Chain A
Amino acid sequence: MDNGLTAADVALLNKNDDWGGNSFMWIFALLILAGGGFGGLGWGNNGFANALGYQNLATQNDVQRGFDNQNLQAQTRDILSATTNGTAQTIAASTQNATNAINAIKDGNAALIREFGNVETALTALSGKQQECCCDIKQLVQATAANTDAQIARNNYDAAMRDAATNANFTAQIQSVKDMMAQNKIEAQAQRINQLELAQATAGVLRFPNTWSYGAGPFPPVFGGCYGNNNI
């Protein structure tokens, strides 16, 4: 970068150093501009300011002001540079921090949204399963109820059939007993009838005794014939 130097200045810079590379000579030259390096030589405000050939020389105050100004400008530049850099760095750091924070929040939000999506999906699936489960339970209950009703009906039917069978059995048994009783009665009556008929038929008929009894005979005993043969 050209520091505001003209071609002549550049030529002056690039030509061989007038003092063989001795930088201190340039410092002396600066002191001349400052007007105080060699105070006894009378440069600057020591009476030669307006002398012929020295019209363009700066006064001591001018040069001092130039030094001070240059220092001040340099310091100001440094301060500004540091401030700018610092400010820029601070702003950049703050911006980066903010960006990082925003990105972290965005990532967090994205993760949350994904989680919510997963939760919603899970809830939907769960809701579907609940409904399916509810249907299954209802069907099971209905089927169970139907089965239960059918079973109850079967049980009732079976019970009724058993009762009927039992009743029929009882009835049959009772009937058979009744029949037996009736038959017995008939036989008893028939037997009685036979007896009565027989009695009627044999009424007035001399019957041969069918029982024998033995006694002592008549008193006093009759001797003669056969002993003890009395017909009573």
Chain B
Amino acid sequence: MLVQQNPQVQQAMNLINSMGTSPQQAFIQLAKMKGVNPEQIINMLK
């Protein structure tokens, strides 16, 4: 339901699947690639 409503979720899931890593690892790698501090985003989401 969430995927159908939000295509970005599908995109994120596709990215994770294509990378062949866990969601957590994918997030960290992407954050690093973009120069974003992953801890910062985690803290903001808590």
Interface residue ranges, A against B (CB under 8 Å): 3-5, 9, 12-13, 17-18, 23-34, 36-37, 56-58, 62-63, 66-67, 70-71, 74-75, 78
- The A/B interface has a contact count, at CB < 8 Å, of 99
Q: A4-B29, A28-B45, A58-B36 are in contact. Are A67 and B11 (CB under 8 A)?
A: yes
In the bound complex, residues from chain A placing their C-beta under 8 Å from that of B13 are 27
Which residues of chain B from 23 to 46 have any CB-CB distance to chain A below 8 Å in the complex? 23-42, 44-46
Question: For the complex, what is the distance from the CA of A13 to the CA of B27, rounded to whole Å?
Answer: 10
Closest Cβ of chain B to A68, distance in Å, is 9
Q: A26-B26, A27-B13, A34-B12 are in contact. Are A18 and B42 (CB under 8 A)?
A: yes
In the bound complex, residues from chain B placing their C-beta under 8 Å from that of A56 are 35-37, 40
In the complex, which range does the number of interface residues on chain B fall in? 35 or more
Question: For the complex, what is the distance from the CA of A62 to the CA of B12, rounded to whole Å?
Answer: 14
Closest Cβ of chain B to A17, distance in Å, is 7
For the complex of A and B, the 10 pairs showing the least CB-CB separation, nearest first, are: A74-B18, A26-B23, A58-B34, A30-B12, A23-B23, A36-B8, A29-B27, A26-B24, A26-B27, A27-B12
Q: Is the CB of A32 within 8 A of B25?
A: no
Closest Cβ of chain A to B5, distance in Å, is 11
In the bound complex, residues from chain B placing their C-beta under 8 Å from that of A12 are 28, 38-39
Q: Is the CB of A33 within 8 A of B6?
A: no
In the bound complex, residues from chain B placing their C-beta under 8 Å from that of A5 are 25, 28-29, 32
